Amino acid sequence: MNILQILPEMHVGGVETGTLDLAKALVKLGHKAVVVSGGGELVGDLESAGAIHYRLPVHKKSLSSILKMIPQVAEIIRAEEIDIVHARSRVPAWIAYFAARRTNRVFITTAHGYYRKHYFSRPMGWGKRVVVVSNAIARHMIEDFGVSRERVVMVPRGVDLNKFTFRKFERKVKNDFVVGIVGRFSPIKGHLHFVQAMARVARSIPHLKIWIVGDAPASRESYKEQIQVMVKRLGLWHCTEFLGTKKDIPKVLSQLDLLVLATTTHEAFGRVIVEAQASGVPVVATEVGGVVDVVENGKTGLLIPPADPASMAEAVIRLYRDTKLSARLVENAYRNVKRKYNLDLMIKNTLNLYEEALSNFRILIIKLSSLGDIILSTAALRAIREKFPPNYKISFLVGEESKEALLRCPYIDELLVADFKNKEAGLRGFIDLARRLRSKNFDIAIDLQNNRKSHILSFLTLSLKRYGYDNKKFSFLLNCRIPDDQLSIAPVKHQFRILEMLGIDLVNSQLELWPSPEDACYIDELLTSQWISVNQKIVGISVSASERWLTKSWPVTHMAKLCEELGRKQIRVVITGTEKDLELAKTIANMAKDANIINACGKTTVNQLASLIKRCAVFVCVDSSPLHIAAAMNTPFVALFGPTDPNRHLPPAKNFVVIKKDWPCRPCYKSKCRERKCMELINPTEVLATVEALLDSRKE
């Protein structure tokens, strides 16, 4: 693997040390390690270990600098053939995210801090995987930044135990008792509270020595002066040493008798705590953020409330006096570090994370329209599943009204539902849906809907690759497009033109549905109640198309005539439709009283209707979803086409007949028409003859 880590600078610190440790391990294990930063004293160690370093001002927060860095980092990604871009801070994350998208690379972040809920911090939650170093940071990223739980991966920081010499706790034969605080000078690190606590401690420990390790950036010089003033004012100057930034932290810790972490706000992890525990140094720490993962109060250290000098002083004095407690805490802490926070474990978990991110991909398929179109997409679904290995997780976004057709689909891992009439109604609902899709972190979006809404949703998923038709319906939002220039083409073949861009050819166009045994039992009971035996042949007729497409419907008189003629031949007829078709079905039944019609309108769900159509020897239908159900259930059908073109809408099937009449204006695709000649000209006698021919073919 070729890994690029990007962070502001390579100065001494927890994030920087972790970056260096990981880079060294990657090189040692035969991987390529590349680091992009603004430079720092650890660059030499990085390069001497065999890692590659690029010095760029990726720490600068100006918009112009960020925009300038994106193409430069993208060029590094290409030149070094990077597989994964790993961002470890906010400004570098902005740069790395867009550079990774520009080069179609996997983007990963590590949340090292408890970031403010601000848009500037958002990229830290945009990674395909978001690494967190503690449970507190995991909750923070999930609750405050909307990162889905499945994308959050816990990888605590690890320390190289070979660098730290563990010593069993014992009172040193010397007068000085050295208490240290290690960290950059910042108000959140609690230095002022630490100094106030040490003033109290000095009254009980006469030979106290105070070490303040770390320094202040230029912007914090006034805070450093404030600390120094307080040290003098409290009479601690004679026993306090400001050691500045120390590169050799193991050496510092080896000379401490006790470490204090005084952070006043949420601490992500507290690396120095683990380093102290690896050195056999007792720890007093504030009970904030990820510290509670590392320190179990009374077992591996002592926890105190933040910004409470009195409690801090009391805990320090307690450990000074109670050597048995100190020894017990040290032993327990060291065992805990070896088990949970060693460098080898961190490297192993990180490499597993990288391999998982590179091998596991998520695919989103979008098809929001009518039930018939959803059924037409099942051939594409099957082909996509066969193309990609099991580690590719497939999600399907469907409209609320059509979801039942895919509830038991074996080719998808997740069914996502968009209810544009209720929950996802309006702009706010649409944005919420887009946010929900974005949180899934899809790698590929396949837009089988290809309208403006679906193209926008595809784009808002922020998938690396977005496939669909170039049809001028905001299709510029897709980055993998094919011209929609073949108008008279079969619907399944039309979908597969998109899939060809993924290397998927149309081999099997068979449609599918997956009704349950319970659905079949329901239909058996329904037919039995109408005195239909298991082996008796029935003919199904769908009485109408959708309310929008009244022009597709066959005249009621024609349907009644067909039912009457079938009844005379002792063939039972079942009429299917929705609850809105009940009156129409009753009208047909009254017109064909001798036909003994079974009225199933409004009595079936999608899958129950599929089971019913499967029981039919022949099914008669206009251009509507029941036609597609018949094709999916391998039921012979007679398709009646009027205003629409069967070349574009006929589902693939083995045993069927299309009846259409030439009329000057067809296909017109008009939803309203006064004459509807194209449907009236389809004679019931011709349909009857076709039904009989299909019935005879089944006898053979």
Assigned token pair, 256: 């401490």
Give the C-alpha separation, 340 to 633, whole Å. Answer: 56
pLDDT of residue 173: 46
Averaged pLDDT for residues 387-416: 93
CB 462 within 8 A of CB 440: no
Give the C-alpha separation, 268 to 473, whole Å. Answer: 46
pLDDT of residue 172: 55
- How confident is the model over 504-525, as pLDDT tens digits? 999 999 999 999 999 999 999 9
> What does the DSSP assignment read for 24-51?
HHHHHTT-EEEEEES--TTHHHHHHTT-
- How confident is the model over 199-220, as pLDDT tens digits? 999 999 989 999 999 888 777 7
Q: Among residues 182, 240, 232, 231, which one has the least CA distance to residue 209?
A: 240
Instruction: Give the torsion sign (CA, 604, 609, 611, 617).
Output: positive
Assigned token pair, 413: 């891992």
Neighbouring CB atoms inside 10 A of 414's CB total 12
- How confident is the model over 457-505, as pLDDT tens digits? 999 998 889 999 999 899 999 999 999 987 788 999 999 999 999 999 9
pLDDT of residue 699: 63
- How confident is the model over 406-420, as pLDDT tens digits? 999 999 999 999 998
Give the C-alpha separation, 543 to 554, whole Å. Answer: 8
Question: Are β-strands 302-304 and 84-87 bridged in parallel, bridged antiparallel, or unpaired?
Answer: unpaired
Q: Among residues 243, 226, 113, which one has the least CA distance to residue 181?
A: 243
Averaged pLDDT for residues 547-568: 88
Give the C-alpha separation, 128 to 137, whole Å. Answer: 17
Averaged pLDDT for residues 326-341: 92
Percentage of residues in the chain with pLDDT exceeding 90? 63
pLDDT of residue 174: 59
pLDDT for 262 beyond 90: yes
Residue type, 479: N
Strand partners, 111: 132
pLDDT of residue 523: 94
pLDDT of residue 604: 93
pLDDT for 189 beyond 80: yes
**Hey, which bits of 593-632 come out as E strands?**
598-599, 618-622
Residues 6+ apart with CB under 8 A from 375: 405, 511, 513, 625, 628, 629, 631, 632, 651
pLDDT of residue 38: 94
| pTM, full prediction | 0.75
pLDDT for 355 beyond 50: yes
Give the C-alpha separation, 423 to 430, whole Å. Answer: 9
Residue type, 596: N
Structural domains of the chain sorted by starting position, each given as residue range(s) with its CATH number in brackets: 2-154 (3.40.50.2000), 177-341 (3.40.50.2000), 362-502 (3.40.50.2000), 517-699 (3.40.50.2000)
- Kindly indicate the confidence band of residue 698, based on its pLDDT and cuts at 50, 70 and 90: low
Averaged pLDDT for residues 250-265: 92
pLDDT of residue 504: 95
Averaged pLDDT for residues 243-264: 90
Mean pLDDT of the chain: 90
Rg of the chain, C-alpha, whole Å: 36
- How confident is the model over 24-83, as pLDDT tens digits? 999 999 999 999 999 998 999 999 999 999 999 999 989 999 999 999 999 999 999 999
pLDDT of residue 171: 62
pLDDT of residue 133: 87
**Hey, which bits of 161-229 come out as E strands?**
177-182, 208-213
Q: Among residues 114, 117, 81, 77, which one has the least CA distance to residue 95?
A: 77
Q: Among residues 284, 244, 256, which one has the least CA distance to residue 176?
A: 256
- How confident is the model over 120-148, as pLDDT tens digits? 889 999 999 999 988 888 888 888 888 88
Averaged pLDDT for residues 571-586: 89
Assigned token pair, 618: 């022949």
pLDDT of residue 265: 84
CB 276 within 8 A of CB 257: no
